Amino acid sequence: MGKGGNQGEGATESESPMPTFSWEEIQKHNLRTDRWLVIDRKVYNITKWSSRHPGGLRVIGHYAGEDATDAFYAFHPDLDFVRKFLKPLLIGELAPEEPSQDRGKNSQITEDFRALRKIAEDMNLFKPNHLFFLLLLAHIIAMESIAWFTIFYFGNGWIPTLVTAFVLVISQAQAGWLQHDYGHLSVYKKSIWNHIVHKFVIGHLKGASANWWNHRHFQHHAKPNIFHKDPDVNMLHMFVLGKWQPIEYGKKKLKYLPYNHQHQYFFLIGPPLLIPMYFQYQIIMTMIVRKDWVDLAWAISYYTRFFFTYIPFYGVLGAFVFLNFIRFLESHWFVWVTQMNHIVMEVGQESYRDWLSSQLAATCNVEQSFFNDWFSGHLNFQIEHHLFPTMPRHNFYKIAPLVKSLCAKHGIEYQEKPLLQALQDIIRSLKKSGQLWLDAYLHK
Task: Give yes or no for a contact between 400 and 381, defined as CB atoms under 8 angstroms apart.
Answer: yes
Does residue 9 carry a pLDDT above 90? Answer: no
User: How do residues 350-396 score in pLDDT, each as one tens digit?
Assistant: 999 999 999 999 999 999 999 999 999 999 999 999 999 999 999 99
What local confidence, expressed as pLDDT, does residue 16 receive? 67
What local confidence, expressed as pLDDT, does residue 414 receive? 98
pLDDT above 70 coverage of the chain, percent: 96
User: How do residues 41-63 score in pLDDT, each as one tens digit?
Assistant: 999 999 999 999 988 899 999 99
Task: Give yes or no for a contact between 204 and 185, defined as CB atoms under 8 angstroms apart.
Answer: no
H helices of 155-291, where? 158-183, 191-199, 210-222, 244-251, 262-269, 280-289
Q: DSSP characters for 422-440?
A: HHHHHHHHHHHHHHHHHHH
Confidence band for 128, pLDDT divided at 50, 70 and 90: very high
Residue 430: Cβ within 10 Å count? 24
Taking residues 166-192, report their average pLDDT.
97
Task: Give yes or no for a contact between 378 and 393, defined as CB atoms under 8 angstroms apart.
Answer: yes
What local confidence, expressed as pLDDT, does residue 80 receive? 87
User: How do residues 239-284 score in pLDDT, each as one tens digit?
Assistant: 999 999 999 999 999 999 999 999 999 999 999 999 999 999 999 9
Residue 131: Cβ within 10 Å count? 9
Taking residues 177-196, report their average pLDDT.
96
Cα 191 to Cα 43: distance, rounded to the nearest angstrom: 25
**Contacts for 35 with CB less than 8 Å, ≥ 6 apart:** 29, 45, 46, 47, 50, 60, 61, 64, 65
Confidence band for 5, pLDDT divided at 50, 70 and 90: very low
Q: Considering the chain, what is the average pLDDT of its residues?
A: 95
Cα 419 to Cα 411: distance, rounded to the nearest angstrom: 25
Cα 312 to Cα 129: distance, rounded to the nearest angstrom: 40
What local confidence, expressed as pLDDT, does residue 10 receive? 52
What local confidence, expressed as pLDDT, does residue 444 receive? 82
First to last CA, the chain: 42
Taking residues 433-442, report their average pLDDT.
98
Cα 249 to Cα 294: distance, rounded to the nearest angstrom: 41
What local confidence, expressed as pLDDT, does residue 1 receive? 40
* Model pTM above 0.85: yes
Does residue 2 carry a pLDDT above 90? Answer: no
User: How do residues 22-44 score in pLDDT, each as one tens digit?
Assistant: 999 999 999 999 999 999 999 99
**Contacts for 193 with CB less than 8 Å, ≥ 6 apart:** 187
What does the angle CA 320 – CA 375 – CA 331 come to, to the nearest 5 degrees? 30
- 240: amino acid identity, one letter: V
Q: Which string of b and e fits 1-33 if b means at least 16 CB within 10 Å?
A: ebebeebebebeeeeeebbbbebebbeebbeee
- The most confident of the ranges 13-17, 81-85, 243-247 is 243-247
Does residue 409 carry a pLDDT above 70? Answer: yes
